[in-house]
Amino acid sequence: MAYVSTAVISREDAASRSGTYRLLARLWLREVDLDLLQELRQAPLRDSFVAAGGVLPEYERDASDSKTTIENLAIAYCRLFVGPANHLPPFQSVWQAGQFQGTATASMREMIDVVGYDVVPLPGGVMLDHLGVQLDVMGNLLEQLSSWPAEAGSCDQVWELADSFYAKHLLWPADLLATAARQAEDDFYRSFIMLTREFLKSEMQLR
């Protein structure tokens, strides 16, 4: 499986794709807070999110209504991904091996060391094979490629690393995404899950 040539994918394209990966990562890793809700309601993020198939939370008239929206979104997020019951843990080890902290976690740790990814901003206690972490690492790799200095020479090695990472850690979520889309009761989360599925499908077509 070979990655698309750097001559075909521009820096601008790599930067755009990096931004999508990192937005999806943010939505998978944390509940929506007021800052993100406001960003989603404003251009250009609003327009990009809707154009990609996202359904925005309803617009509210005042701060108290926004607080209610955030609380409802937090409940929806927890029901889907946190529990305590009938939830869908978004971890590669769970979906591939039926357990937490499987070989995917060890592989992620190795890849993070190679990439130089900073784990400090991640939510406390999150396991490294969380889909949100994986999306963010891929976004980090594409960000590196979008800003690769010409004087540094070829960046083919980074493209190969990105391709390897995708093959190891972003081909697995199909069952999670299909199940989560069926189980989601909130339009915002259902659309975001489907957006993730379609985006990863489009990324696969580049390989």
Round the CA-based radius of gyration of the chain to a whole number and report it. Answer: 17
pLDDT tier at 3, thresholds 50, 70, 90:
very low
Specify if 150 maps to a domain: yes
Once rounded to an integer, what is the mean pLDDT over residues 57-68? 70
- Here the CATH number for the domain that contains residue 169 is 1.10.3480.10
Q: Give dist(CA 36, CA 15) in Å, integer.
A: 20
Secondary structure letter of residue 173 according to DSSP: T
Q: Give dist(CA 1, CA 3) in Å, integer.
A: 7
136: exposed, middle or buried (C-beta count within 10 Å: 0-12, 13-18, 19+)?
Answer: buried
- Do residues 102 and 96 make contact, with C-beta atoms less than 8 angstroms apart? yes
Q: Give dist(CA 195, CA 177) in Å, integer.
A: 10
Specify if 1 maps to a domain: no
Specify if 2 maps to a domain: no
Domains contained in the chain, number: 1
Torsion of CA 78, 93, 170, 156, to 10 degrees: 130
Specify if 5 maps to a domain: no
Is the per-residue pLDDT at 177 higher than 50?
yes
Is the per-residue pLDDT at 2 higher than 70?
no
Once rounded to an integer, what is the mean pLDDT over residues 20-45? 92
Query: Is the whole model's pTM more than 0.85, yes or no?
Result: yes
Phi, psi values for residue 36, rounded to 5°: -70, -40
Task: Look at residue 64 in the predicted model and tell me its pLDDT.
Answer: 64
Parent domain of 154? 11-204
